[in-house]
Chain A
Amino acid sequence: MGTHLKTAAIDHATARRMEWEDRLLLSVSLIIPLIGLLLFFLYPVFLIAKRSFIQRDGNFGLSNYTEVFGMSHIPTVITNSLVMSSATTLLCVTLGFAIAYAMQRTTIRGQYLIRIALILPLLAPSLVQALGLIFLLGRNGVVSQYTGWNIQIYGFWGLLISNSMYALPQAVMIIQASLRHSDSRYYDAALMMGASRWRQFIDITLPNAKFGLLSAAFVVFTVTITDFGNAAVIGGNYRVLATEIYSQVVGQMNFNMGAVIGIMLLLPTLVAVYIEKVSSQRQFGGSSESAIPVTREFVPLRDIPLAAVVHSVGLIIFMIVLTVVYASFMRLWPYRMEFTLANYNITLSGGYTPLWTSFIVSFQAAIIGVVALFALVMAQRRLPRRFAKAIYLLAILPVGVPGLVLGLSYVLSFNAPGSMLGMLYGTGLLIALCNFYHFHSQGFLTMVAGIRAVPPALEETVSCMGGGVMNSLRDAILPFMMTTLVAVFFFLFMRSMVTLSAVIFLISPTLSVGAVSVLRLDQAGFTTQAAAFSTCIMVSVLIALGLMKLILFRLSRSRASVAVVS
Chain B
Amino acid sequence: MHLIIKNLSKSFDHFLALNDINLEVGSNEFVCLLGPSGCGKTTLLRIIAGLMPFDSGTLSLGGRDLAKVQARERGFGIVFQSYSLFPNMTVAENIGYGLKIRKWPQKDAEAKVRELMELIRLPELAHRYPHQLSGGQQQRVAIARALAVDPAVLLLDEPLSALDARVRAEMRLEIRDVQRRLGIPTIMVTHDQEEALTMADRIVCMNQGVIEQIGTPLELYTRPQTRFVADFVGTSNLLDPDWIRQTLPALSPGIPEDELQFQLSLRPEDLNVVKDDAGTGIVKAITFLGNISRILIDWQGRELIAESHRFPSLAEGDAVTLQVAPEAGSWVRI
- Contact surface of A with B, Cβ cutoff 8 Å: 1-2, 4-5, 7-12, 15, 18-19, 455, 457-458, 460-461, 463-468, 471, 475-476, 479-480, 559-564, 566
- Once the chains are docked, how many angstroms separate the CA of A460 from the CA of B146? 12
What are the residues of chain B within 8 A of A464 when measuring CB–CB?
49-51, 71-72, 74, 76-78, 146, 155
Q: Could you say which of A11, A466, A476 contacts B86, with CB atoms under 8 Å apart?
A: A476
- Once the chains are docked, how many angstroms separate the CA of A480 from the CA of B97? 18
B149 to chain A, nearest CB (A): 5
A-B contact pairs, 21 of them (CB 8 A): A2-B62, A2-B64, A2-B152, A5-B74, A15-B72, A455-B82, A457-B82, A458-B83, A460-B46, A461-B145, A463-B71, A463-B72, A466-B72, A466-B73, A466-B149, A467-B72, A475-B88, A475-B97, A559-B88, A562-B129, A563-B85
Interface residues of B in 239-292 (CB under 8 A from A): none
Q: Could you say which of B46, B49, B102 contacts A10, with CB atoms under 8 Å apart?
A: B102
Q: Could you say which of B49, B71, B151 contacts A8, with CB atoms under 8 Å apart?
A: B151
Given A4-B150, A7-B150, A476-B86: A460 and B102 interface contact (C-beta under 8 Å): no
Additional 8 contacts, C-beta under 8 A, given A455-B83, A465-B101: A9-B72, A457-B81, A464-B155, A465-B97, A466-B98, A468-B72, A479-B87, A562-B87
Nearest-neighbor residue (CB-CB) of A9 within chain B: B75
Given A465-B149, A480-B87: A460 and B80 interface contact (C-beta under 8 Å): yes
What are the residues of chain A within 8 A of B98 when measuring CB–CB?
465-466
**For the complex of A and B, 6 pairs with smallest distance between CB atoms:** A9-B75, A563-B87, A8-B75, A455-B83, A457-B80, A2-B62
Q: Could you say which of A5, A457, A566 contacts B75, with CB atoms under 8 Å apart?
A: A5
A221 to chain B, nearest CB (A): 39
Given A4-B1, A464-B78: A458 and B73 interface contact (C-beta under 8 Å): no
Nearest-neighbor residue (CB-CB) of B51 within chain A: A460
Cβ of B130 under 8 Å from chain A: yes
Given A464-B51, A464-B71: A8 and B83 interface contact (C-beta under 8 Å): no
**Interchain Cβ contacts within 8 Å, total number:** 123
What are the residues of chain B within 8 A of A476 when measuring CB–CB?
86
What are the residues of chain A within 8 A of B75 when measuring CB–CB?
5, 8-10, 466
Cβ of B131 under 8 Å from chain A: yes
Say whether A563 contacts B129, CB under 8 Å. yes
Say whether B72 contacts A461, CB under 8 Å. no
- Once the chains are docked, how many angstroms separate the CA of A15 from the CA of B76? 14
B126 to chain A, nearest CB (A): 15
Q: Could you say which of B49, B73, B89 contacts A15, with CB atoms under 8 Å apart?
A: B73
Say whether A2 contacts B61, CB under 8 Å. yes
What are the residues of chain B within 8 A of A12 when measuring CB–CB?
73
What are the residues of chain A within 8 A of B89 when measuring CB–CB?
475
- Once the chains are docked, how many angstroms separate the CA of A11 from the CA of B145? 20
B203 to chain A, nearest CB (A): 24
- Once the chains are docked, how many angstroms separate the CA of A11 from the CA of B70? 11
B3 to chain A, nearest CB (A): 11
- Once the chains are docked, how many angstroms separate the CA of A464 from the CA of B80? 12
Cβ of B84 under 8 Å from chain A: yes
Q: Could you say which of B73, B86, B150 contacts A479, with CB atoms under 8 Å apart?
A: B86
- Once the chains are docked, how many angstroms separate the CA of A425 from the CA of B86? 46
What are the residues of chain B within 8 A of A566 when measuring CB–CB?
131
B1-37 toward A: CB 8 Å interface, digit per residue (1/0)?
1000000000000000000000000000000000000
Most buried by A among B64, B82, B151: B151
- Once the chains are docked, how many angstroms separate the CA of A564 from the CA of B129? 12
Residues of B contacting A: mostly:
loop
What are the residues of chain A within 8 A of B49 when measuring CB–CB?
460, 464
Interface residues of B in 113-166 (CB under 8 A from A): 129-131, 145-146, 149-152, 155
Say whether B78 contacts A455, CB under 8 Å. no
Nearest-neighbor residue (CB-CB) of A15 within chain B: B73
A11 to chain B, nearest CB (A): 8
- Once the chains are docked, how many angstroms separate the CA of A211 from the CA of B150? 54
- Once the chains are docked, how many angstroms separate the CA of A471 from the CA of B150? 20
Nearest-neighbor residue (CB-CB) of A465 within chain B: B98
What are the residues of chain B within 8 A of A480 when measuring CB–CB?
87
A461 to chain B, nearest CB (A): 5
Say whether A559 contacts B87, CB under 8 Å. yes
A482 to chain B, nearest CB (A): 9
Say whether A471 contacts B101, CB under 8 Å. yes
Nearest-neighbor residue (CB-CB) of A475 within chain B: B86
- Once the chains are docked, how many angstroms separate the CA of A12 from the CA of B84? 26
A558 to chain B, nearest CB (A): 8
Most buried by B among A1, A15, A465, A564: A465
- Once the chains are docked, how many angstroms separate the CA of A40 from the CA of B65? 48
- Once the chains are docked, how many angstroms separate the CA of A465 from the CA of B88? 17
Q: Could you say which of A460, A466, A560 contacts B87, with CB atoms under 8 Å apart?
A: A560
B108 to chain A, nearest CB (A): 13
B61 to chain A, nearest CB (A): 7
What are the residues of chain B within 8 A of A564 when measuring CB–CB?
87
Say whether A461 contacts B87, CB under 8 Å. no
Say whether B70 contacts A19, CB under 8 Å. yes
What are the residues of chain B within 8 A of A7 when measuring CB–CB?
150
- Once the chains are docked, how many angstroms separate the CA of A464 from the CA of B83? 15
Q: Could you say which of A5, A10, A461 contacts B78, with CB atoms under 8 Å apart?
A: A461
Say whether B78 contacts A460, CB under 8 Å. yes
Given A4-B150, A15-B72: A479 and B101 interface contact (C-beta under 8 Å): no
What are the residues of chain A within 8 A of B129 when measuring CB–CB?
559, 562-563
Most buried by B among A12, A458, A461: A461
Say whether A458 contacts B84, CB under 8 Å. yes
- Once the chains are docked, how many angstroms separate the CA of A468 from the CA of B102? 12
What are the residues of chain B within 8 A of A455 when measuring CB–CB?
82-84
- Once the chains are docked, how many angstroms separate the CA of A458 from the CA of B78? 10
Say whether A8 contacts B150, CB under 8 Å. yes
Say whether A563 contacts B88, CB under 8 Å. yes
- Once the chains are docked, how many angstroms separate the CA of A7 from the CA of B102? 10
- Once the chains are docked, how many angstroms separate the CA of A385 from the CA of B98? 30
B148 to chain A, nearest CB (A): 9
What are the residues of chain A within 8 A of B102 when measuring CB–CB?
10, 466
Say whether B87 contacts A457, CB under 8 Å. no
- Once the chains are docked, how many angstroms separate the CA of A461 from the CA of B145? 10
Say whether B74 contacts A9, CB under 8 Å. yes
What are the residues of chain A within 8 A of B101 when measuring CB–CB?
10, 465-467, 471
